[in-house]
């Protein structure tokens, strides 16, 4: 079913008597098809459009809508200066291509690319998912027709041909498919205990120990932790700190277990490796685990009373800590997420970039939550959304960092979160795709979900 609504663009602008046009919103109910198609095309003897060269052809695919209109669903890359291009294979979901209707018309237009954007139309053809699914055959060699040329020239045959080279159907799996199949998500929390956060005894400090309300770190830990803990299989969080001087001798540590955490036998048997724990710890070396986010909060406040905030702010040690665990489990049964809560003043940028590049090959992601009013330019750089993180000439295999400035989600007083739903969405925005990108590149498929639990039936025996 398709819904169409026309919205006058000047309706609420306050320009009396002036028409600014109409925006048409079109909606169609999506089919539940989860298949995707990997296709590749080539062309032969396309029309020459460039005066000093041949043509720079590309394809534009359109899905037909229920009202007979067409919507662009894919554009190929441009192949320069050729009349016989071979385009790269591309993947498109069946929903995007035809919304699961195998007989729905798919229109393909062929253009010659021009630098100024006025691309020259070469011709077009139509097909359908059902026809394309026959694969490479005589049925999938299409004549490219230019209607204007065909109407003017009696001897016009075509403007070239386009041939389907390959057609492979893949079923798209989701993050939830892996979770249902038994993949465990393991969260680790790392908290910034550096002096740049301010003296905890002063109200201006981000670590201020206010007896009546949570400080900035406490608010961020509680809000973000309550979001992520629902995705952790056993809700036992290793809780680490970095950038503090530790009792009794005042050694500086960039990776220490918080004081004290609650023990969990299952977590100990499954995940704790004493040889991988930091030597200069503050808590129990055999137990870095805290019971839920409340356990993390308790450990954070206890540690805050016993350590001295110092520095510098080094991320690499805690990233490498989680990476050591992740490197030992690469079969898709576990995925690791490191949550770093920091004021954003980083001292080991080069080492952190190297750690991220190395960790991008492992089943892990990093969420950085920035607290306080500082500029977070370095955190945005680590996020890698615009430019992939690199170190020593090597780029990260995939984007594994998500940065969230916590101040964007609290009111001006700094005491109340404006929207937990928006915070949750942004904190977890990239984790599913980062997770799936690791599984796809390693060829790891989700295990079948176990059958739903069926309670035993009790047969009532009556004695006569």
- What 3-state DSSP class applies to 132? helix
Q: Give the residues across from 73 on adjacent strands.
A: none
Instruction: Quote the Cα angle for 133-139-142, to 5°.
Output: 105
Burial of 454 (0-12, 13-18, 19+ CB in 10 A): exposed
For domain 35-171, the CATH architecture is Sandwich (2.60)
Q: Is the peptide bond before 133 cis (omega within 30 degrees of 0)?
A: no
Q: Give the residues across from 402 on adjacent strands.
A: 367
Using an 8 Å Cβ cutoff, are 182 and 333 in contact?
Answer: yes
Q: Give the β-pairing of 401-405 and 364-370.
A: parallel
pLDDT of 280: 37
Alpha helix segments (H runs only) across 307-401:
316-326, 349-359, 377-383
Task: Give DSSP secondary structure letters for 89-129.
Answer: PEEEEHHHHHTT-TTSEEEEEEEE--TTS-PEEEEEEEEEH
Alpha-carbon 336 to chain mean position? 14
Indicate the Cα dihedral angle 12, 13, 16, 18, nearest 10°.
-110
Residues 6+ apart with CB under 8 A from 236: 264, 266, 267, 289, 290, 291, 292
Using an 8 Å Cβ cutoff, are 61 and 97 in contact?
Answer: yes
Where do the structural domains in the chain lie, given as residue ranges? 35-171, 175-262+284-442
pLDDT of 171: 85
pLDDT of 274: 33
Using an 8 Å Cβ cutoff, are 361 and 397 in contact?
Answer: yes
The closest alpha carbon to 282, from 311, 313, 304, belongs to: 304
Q: How far is Cα 317 from Cα 319, in angstroms, rounded to an integer?
A: 5
CATH number of 175-262+284-442, picked from 3.90.320.10, 3.40.50.410, 3.40.309.10, 3.30.420.40: 3.40.50.410
pLDDT of 265: 34
Q: How far is Cα 241 from Cα 302, in angstroms, rounded to an integer?
A: 12
The closest alpha carbon to 187, from 300, 316, 336, belongs to: 336
Instruction: Quote the Cα angle for 153-154-155, to 5°.
Output: 95
40 C-beta neighbours (distance < 10 Å), count: 17
The closest alpha carbon to 299, from 203, 414, 218, 211, belongs to: 218
- What 3-state DSSP class applies to 299? helix
Across 172-265, where does the E strand assignment appear? 184-192, 236-242, 244-246, 251-253, 256-257
Burial of 54 (0-12, 13-18, 19+ CB in 10 A): middle
pLDDT of 38: 95
Q: How far is Cα 93 from Cα 129, in angstroms, rounded to an integer?
A: 11
Q: How far is Cα 83 from Cα 57, in angstroms, rounded to an integer?
A: 8
List the chain pLDDT tens, one digit each, 464 residues.
555 555 555 555 556 667 777 777 766 666 667 889 999 999 999 999 876 778 999 999 999 998 889 999 999 999 999 999 999 999 999 999 998 899 999 999 999 999 998 999 999 999 999 999 999 988 899 999 999 999 888 899 999 999 999 999 988 888 989 988 999 999 999 999 999 999 999 999 999 998 888 898 998 888 888 888 887 878 888 999 999 999 989 999 999 999 754 434 333 333 333 333 333 333 454 567 898 999 999 999 999 999 999 999 999 999 999 999 999 999 999 999 999 999 988 999 999 999 999 999 999 999 999 998 888 889 989 998 888 999 999 999 999 999 999 888 887 776 677 777 788 788 888 999 999 999 999 999 998 877 776 666 665 555 54
Burial of 344 (0-12, 13-18, 19+ CB in 10 A): buried
Using an 8 Å Cβ cutoff, are 33 and 95 in contact?
Answer: yes
Q: How far is Cα 406 from Cα 421, in angstroms, rounded to an integer?
A: 13
Q: Hey, CA dihedral for 381, 383, 388, 390, is it positive or negative?
A: positive
Q: How far is Cα 50 from Cα 118, in angstroms, rounded to an integer?
A: 13
């Amino acid at each position: 079913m398709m819904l169409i609504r026309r919205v006058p663009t000047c309706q609420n602008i306050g320009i009396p008597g002036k028409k600014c046009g109409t925006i048409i919103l079109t909606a169609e109910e999506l089919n539940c098809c989860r298949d995707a198609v990997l296709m590749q095309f080539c062309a032969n003897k396309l029309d020459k459009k460039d005066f000093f060269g041949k043509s720079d052809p590309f394809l534009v695919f359109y899905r037909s809508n229920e009202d007979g209109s067409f919507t662009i669903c894919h554009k190929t890359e441009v192949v320069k200066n050729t009349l016989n291009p071979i385009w790269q294979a591309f993947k498109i979901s069946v929903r995007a291509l035809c919304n699961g209707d195998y007989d729905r018309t798919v229109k393909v237009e062929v253009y010659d690319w021009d630098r100024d954007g006025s691309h020259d139309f070469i011709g077009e053809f139509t097909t359908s998912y059902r026809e394309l699914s026959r694969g490479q055959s005589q049925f999938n060699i299409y004549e490219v027709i230019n209607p204007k040329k065909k109407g003017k020239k009696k001897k016009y045959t075509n403007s070239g041909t386009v041939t389907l080279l390959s057609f492979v159907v893949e079923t798209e799996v989701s993050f939830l498919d892996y979770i249902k199949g038994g993949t465990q998500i393991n969260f680790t929390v790392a908290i910034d205990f550096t002096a740049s956060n301010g003296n905890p005894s002063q109200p201006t400090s981000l670590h201020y120990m206010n007896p009546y309300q949570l400080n900035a770190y406490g608010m961020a830990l509680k809000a973000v932790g309550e979001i992520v803990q629902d995705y952790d299989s056993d809700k036992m969080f290793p809780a680490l700190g970095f950038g503090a001087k530790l009792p009794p001798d005042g050694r500086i540590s960039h990776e220490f277990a918080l004081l004290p955490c609650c023990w969990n036998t299952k977590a100990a048997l499954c995940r704790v490796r004493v040889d991988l724990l930091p030597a200069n710890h503050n808590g129990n070396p055999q137990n870095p685990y805290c019971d839920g986010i409340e356990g993390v909060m308790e450990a954070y406040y206890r540690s805050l009373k016993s350590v001295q905030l110092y520095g510098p702010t080094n991320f690499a040690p805690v990233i490498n800590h989680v990476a050591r665990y992740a490197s030992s489990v690469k079969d898709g049964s576990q995925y690791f997420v490191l949550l770093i809560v920091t004021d954003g003043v980083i001292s080991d940028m080069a080492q952190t970039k190297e750690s991220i590049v190395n960790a991008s090959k492992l089943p892990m992601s990093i969420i950085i939550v920035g607290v306080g009013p500082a500029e977070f330019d370095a955190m945005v750089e680590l996020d890698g959304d615009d430019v992939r993180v690199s170190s020593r000439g090597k780029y990260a295999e995939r984007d594994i960092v998500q940065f969230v400035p916590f101040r964007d989600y609290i009111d001006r007083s700094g005491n109340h979160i404006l929207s937990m739903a928006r915070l949750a969405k942004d904190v977890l925005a990239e984790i599913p795709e980062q997770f799936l990108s690791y599984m796809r590149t390693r060829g790891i498929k989700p295990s079948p979900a176990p059958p739903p639990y069926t309670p035993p039936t009790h047969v009532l025996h009556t004695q006569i």
